[in-house]
């Protein structure tokens, strides 16, 4: 999340933060294995040419101050010590910093305060599973790094043979109430009926735990959720023995963006170039694969591409 324009109204800011990170409650599952990415991240070497493009203040400080809301596994969350940030985004942030010859310094804050903290100069970047949207781009810039969207989660072994949206016809689906997943499930049901197939029976609740129980007991064939959330639940619920994620492109996908202050285009360019270098040399893909979110990988790093 990048810089602000002078004179962004309070109405715009309230819209920006309300749109964030974006549908559904936090994962209810826990206790599963976690990937080890230390060797991948530690292998990243400084690129002197890229580092030369950094703003002098950042280069002199030797660090990137990153604001996040560290409670969104597997993107970002605390290790067992309750102090160390970890996750796919944390690894990507460390790798970008290393490519630029910098360290990272995390600030954990409310999601609603990320944009204003960036605008005020309290932090240099935001990285918090924040969607790059036109509304937010009125205040900040985004270096897009991941595509998230609706993902289908099924019982381990996929007994209902759900391989994509069309396989939901005639089956039950659980979603969180009032989310884009709920809207999509109803749209898909309409398409199924129009195609002469059975409707999608949509069960909407405000409880991830309840949805997971329904899937475990076979009362529904699938849960629709955000890609990283679904992956995390599949990895951790029952130590990874209860669920799996259908391997398909995210549905209605949109980008997550690293926020940068609009007054700092040099930093935007540096972060974009460093991340593209990580994509090109395979480091980016290795990190996402370790966290099992490679379905959301991008090939070209864009600015404000949402």
Whose structure tokens read 């069309």?
Answer: 166
Per-residue pLDDT for 29 more than 90? no
Per-residue pLDDT for 5 more than 70? no
Q: Percent of the chain having pLDDT more than 90?
A: 79
- Residue 108's nearest CA partner among 117, 100, 119 is 117
The Cα 25–Cα 246 span in angstroms is: 20
Whose structure tokens read 């040099």?
Answer: 266
Q: Is 137 exposed, middle or buried (0-12, 13-18, 19+ CB in 10 A)?
A: buried
Collapsing DSSP to helix, strand or coil, 172 comes out as strand
DSSP codes, 91-118: HHHHHHHHHTT-EEEEEE--GGGHHHHH
Give the least confident one: 5-9, 150-154, 261-265.
5-9
pLDDT in tens, 116-169: 999 999 999 999 999 999 999 999 999 999 999 999 999 999 999 999 999 999
Q: Say if CB 140 and CB 118 are below 8 A apart.
A: yes
The Cα 196–Cα 226 span in angstroms is: 28
pLDDT in tens, 33-61: 567 899 999 999 999 999 999 999 999 99
The Cα 214–Cα 300 span in angstroms is: 39
């Amino acid at each position: 999340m990048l810089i602000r324009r002078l004179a962004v109204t309070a109405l715009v800011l309230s819209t920006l933060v309300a749109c964030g990170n974006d549908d559904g409650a936090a994962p209810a599952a826990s206790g599963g294995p976690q990937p080890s990415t230390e060797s991948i991240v530690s292998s990243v070497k400084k690129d002197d040419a890229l580092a030369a493009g950094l703003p002098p203040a950042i280069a002199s400080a030797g660090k990137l101050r990153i604001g996040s809301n560290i409670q969104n596994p597997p993107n970002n969350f605390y290790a067992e010590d309750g102090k160390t940030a970890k996750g796919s985004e944390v690894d990507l942030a460390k790798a970008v910093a290393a490519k630029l010859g910098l360290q990272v310094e995390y600030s954990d804050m409310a999601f609603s305060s990320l944009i204003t903290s960036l605008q005020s100069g309290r932090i240099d970047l935001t990285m918090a599973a924040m969607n790059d949207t036109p509304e937010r781009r009125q205040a900040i810039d985004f270096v897009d790094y991941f595509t998230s969207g609706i993902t289908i989660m099924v019982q381990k072994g996929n007994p209902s043979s759900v391989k994509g949206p069309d396989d939901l016809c005639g089956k039950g689906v659980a979603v969180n109430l009032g989310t884009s997943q709920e809207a999509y499930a109803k749209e898909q049901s309409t398409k199924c009926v129009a195609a002469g197939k059975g409707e999608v029976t949509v069960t909407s609740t405000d409880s991830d735990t309840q949805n997971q129980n329904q899937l475990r007991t076979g009362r529904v064939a699938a849960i629709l959720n955000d890609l990283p959330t679904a992956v995390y639940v599949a990895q951790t619920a029952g130590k990874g023995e209860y669920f799996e994620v259908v391997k398909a492109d995210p549905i209605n996908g949109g980008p997550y963006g690293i926020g940068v202050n609009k007054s700092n285009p040099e930093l935007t360019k540096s972060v974009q170039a460093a991340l593209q270098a990580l994509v090109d040399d395979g480091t980016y893909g290795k990190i996402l694969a370790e966290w099992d979110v490679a379905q959301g990988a991008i090939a070209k790093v864009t600015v404000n591409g949402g």
